[in-house]
Amino acid sequence: MAITEAVENYLETILILSQKQPDVHAIDICSYLGYSRPTVSIVLKKMKDDDLVKVDSDNHITLTEKGREVAEHIYDRHKVLSSFFELLGVDKDTAAEDACKIEHDISDQTFELLRAHFLKLRDKD
């Protein structure tokens, strides 16, 4: 099963929200992403069917091991890319927006080389 960019965004959002608050609900995802409740419900059902998330009896949403791996992979890319762009002089909001666009499409090879370059630049300061 191929994981789409949209699903990656949902998984990343659940990861971010779970780091900020004790429980994640569908309404939290709606608020964070600016999507309607029906849209989020449809995607959550698919993600649940694909074993990326679990929803308990209190409607708390958690990532499965598989979902967490994808979320952490994407979130790591986001953090590195946005930090790299800020180091280049891009303002924080634009850096985050641009990182969101690139994090899903950049190859592993290019990303790893970019990460290595970023770490060298960052460690010089």
What is the domain count for the chain?
2
Give me the CATH number covering residue 23. 1.10.10.10
The tokens describing 27, both together, are 């309404």
29 and 60: one domain?
A: yes
Q: What is the mean pLDDT of the chain?
A: 93
Mean pLDDT calculated for residue range 58-67: 96
| pLDDT for residue 86 | 95
77 and 50: one domain?
A: no
pLDDT-derived band at 103, boundaries 50, 70, 90: very high
Percentage of the chain exceeding pLDDT 90:
93
35-50 per-position pLDDT tens digit: 999 999 999 999 999 9
Looking at 43, 64, 85, the residue that finishes a domain is 64
- Whether 2 has a pLDDT exceeding 80, the answer reads no
| Exposure string over 44-53, b if 16+ CB within 10 A, otherwise e | beebeeeebb
- Beta carbons of 104 and 74 less than 8 angstroms apart: yes
60 and 74: one domain?
A: no
Q: What is d(CA 55, CA 62) in angstroms, rounded to the nearest whole number?
A: 7
The residue segments making up the domain with residue 113 are 70-124
Give me the CATH number covering residue 111. 1.10.60.10
pTM of the model: 0.89
50 and 26: one domain?
A: yes
